Amino acid sequence: MAQQLETPNLKKQLEIIGVEAIGFITKILAENDKQVTGNLIKSLDFKIIKGVDGLLLEILAAPYFKYVDKGRRPGKRPPTGPIKKWVERRGIVIKGQNSAQTAFVIARSIGLKGIKPLNITDKLTQNIIKNKETIIKAGAIKDIEELIDKLVLNLNKSI
């Protein structure tokens, strides 16, 4: 009878990495002045998904995180509504214009110039690969050792 590999130790390590990943992303956002309303940082979370091939750490964020992370190419102008809210929270007004006009000017500029990417997900992935590989392996090894111990115990009982 095949024994299914339980992975509580690996899951624990992924939970630690998830918390650290949220801190890492928050730090980058703060360093790049991307925390005006705090909504993007508040939206950050993670979950661990059990899939066919094992466990997966998924980072969750507000939908507009992709524009902060990957930027935006010049082209179509974004909607002014969200920009207007951002302008009002920051207190940005172009001299002689109201917040709606300021938002329009900013949206037009984004449409013409785009938005510079922060490449947060790339930096996070490199950080995990560089610094977390050892603890991920340690969790997986401990789970495998516990499975072997269970199998040996069950084998001894059946003899």
32-49 pLDDT tens trace: 988 877 889 999 999 999
Angle at which helix 99-113 crosses helix 80-90, to 10 degrees, equals: 120
Which ranges constitute the DSSP H helices of the chain? Answer: 8-31, 39-43, 65-70, 80-90, 99-113, 120-131, 133-158
Contact call for residues 55 and 11 (beta carbons, < 8 A): yes
Give the phi and the psi of residue 78 in degrees, each rounded to 5: -75, 165
Contact call for residues 16 and 127 (beta carbons, < 8 A): no
pLDDT at 35: 80
The amino acid at residue 107 is A
Contact call for residues 60 and 22 (beta carbons, < 8 A): no
- Residue-range domain boundaries for the chain: 1-71+117-159, 74-115
Between 8 and 25, the more confident residue is: 25
Residue with tokens 């940005």: 92
Q: d(Cα 78, Cα 72) in Å, to the nearest integer?
A: 10
Q: Work out the angle at residue 34's Cα, subtended by the Cα atoms of residues 29 and 40, and round it to the nearest 5 degrees.
A: 80
61-88 pLDDT tens trace: 999 899 999 999 999 899 999 899 888 9
pLDDT at 4: 59
Contact call for residues 54 and 39 (beta carbons, < 8 A): no
